[in-house]
Structure 1
Amino acid sequence: MSGADLDGVELVVAGRDEAAAGVAVLRLCRPGGGDLPAWTPGAHLDLELGPGLVRQYSLCGDPADRGTLRIAVQLEPEGRGGSRHVHERLIPGATVRVRGPRNNFPLVAAARYLFVAGGIGITPIGPMVAAADAAGADWRLVYGGRSRATMAFADTLRAKYGDRVTLHPQDETGLLDLDALLARPADGLVYCCGPESLIAAVEQRCRTWPAGTLHVERFTPLAPVDGADTAVEVELTLSGRTLTVPPGTSILEAVEAAGVQVLSSCREGTCGTCETPVLAGVPEHRDSLLTEAERAVGDTMMICVSRSVTPRLTLEL
């Protein structure tokens, strides 16, 4: 997972368009112009929208455009306020503080890809499609949404790539036929992003496939782990501190309370900002980012949600 290149830098909204009903596309630039950090398909940007209001949005522009970072934000009227803030306040000329880009959903080189997108999940998939096509890979995109009017970039993708892109507006064709689409293990890699219902359904159908075939990115955290937390002792090697983290308190909260500075953002295990090296002990992973292989290695953890299997953890903090 890559580190961040921007840390609290203020960017200006240089332009704003509507990619679909309820989907605003923002073009972010440095106020005085100039290059922005390089990024790769699957990367996201943290937007600091207000006190305690930090949200992650996938980059959906062209990585070759070093002067602009582009994000697409779907309005969620019943959400927690982030998308509403973007739609109401981030008009051309407004500024917003950002961190990143950071990539927890990188495109692995392969000869063949199946891309499955649902709704606003098309945002990280679009640049992946472009990269796969430029590399000469054999690829296919299956993209579902509530209706054509709500499917951002659908017309553009279809016009550019033709029959390689299959659109499934639910009000016209129903839900994606995942049983047919994923009837047998893919001869290549599968990338999926969208609502939790879609990701869970795809994961269920791919559960017996070879490890590393399926790659997903979630916008919302997995369901909380059942059961009560127990206290855990955490040694911080760089700070020379040892803390006892009581039940009901996250490791991140305990570390912050002790005065140790840690970068964090979502605090729900989806963004990867607080990823911390584990030097000893066995973490109990509760994030929505790490793969099963990464969890098995156990040398890193998201301290905002994850805990410990062992009574003691040693962290590089």
Structure 2
Amino acid sequence: MSTIAIVVMALAFDYTNGFHDAANAIATSVSTRALTPRAALAMAAVMNLAGAFAGEQVAKTVGKGIIDAPDGSEGLVIVAAALVGAITWNMITWYFGLPSSSTHALIGGLVGAALAASQTVKWDGVIDKVVIPMILSPLIGFGIAYLLMVGILWIFRRRNPHKVTRGFRVAQTISAAAMAFGHGLQDAQKTMGLIVMALVVGGYQTDYDVPFWVTVSAALAISAGTYAGGWRIMRTLGRRIIELDPPRGFAAEATAASVLYSTAFVFHAPVSTTHTITSSILGVGATKRLSAVRWGVAGNIVTAWVLTIPAAALVSAGAYLVMSLIFL
């Protein structure tokens, strides 16, 4: 299997990541009518592109902090199998309209392929950079979003509701752009990390620095996928969990963006944009009344979260076994 084929597969995953996770950035602003769907998608695509150029620490975490892939053909097959697992899970959850995590699908794919190949999984890195953030980021997103929304309700309690709604509808264009930038910052880098891993095991480079052409390619792929849109998941996030208004949409997006920035720049952790925005929506929804949140829908989403890593790992392990018979 050639390194070029792996790069193409990684960019295909990046594209699916874009349309699978487009809803993360724009579902709330579209559902509150702060932006039209096409304007929101165009803005998200541009900000995803910009966010992809904002750093490479998350890419290095994915490239060298999760598994030890051997050099040569076996390492390339492991990376390819990981991508098969991640892409397959993305497509399944997209079909059913479930906002699952492309990040954790990718991590599960890497772990499953490495285990099937009897290679080393860096469990310390998986726990520190994936599992702990996977647990904490939704809790933090829920808590901050709840408190921010309580603060907004208190500050604007005596203001004209119609003027407040109009003001936050404008503010949502900024918070949605910030969320889209954070999505590019986080998710495009994960594909960069996979491509760099393929370049290293393929013998094209010895370090895990991200070449400029890799950054550009990943940025363009995720932006194209974002503009293609993810309407099924957008309906789930924007309407099925709770009916959002502009103040709640702003609070959810601002919270999610702040969590994405802090985890990328401070902790270099590949957190899930899906988990972050969904938990933030739940947090702002809980300020309305607990019964306003459709907890059954939320439960289905959490189930998809729990299943993502093991499901993607199983698919990638099976893919490795098949591909190893063909290429090794």
Q: TM-score range by the shorter chain?
A: under 0.3
Q: Which has a greater percent of strand?
A: 1
Q: Which has the larger radius of gyration?
A: 1
Given the two structures, how large is their TM-score scaled by the length of structure 1? 0.24
Q: Which structure carries more relative contact order (alpha carbon 8 Å, separation 6+)? A: 2
Q: Which has a greater percent of helix?
A: 2
Given the two structures, how large is their TM-score scaled by the length of structure 2? 0.23
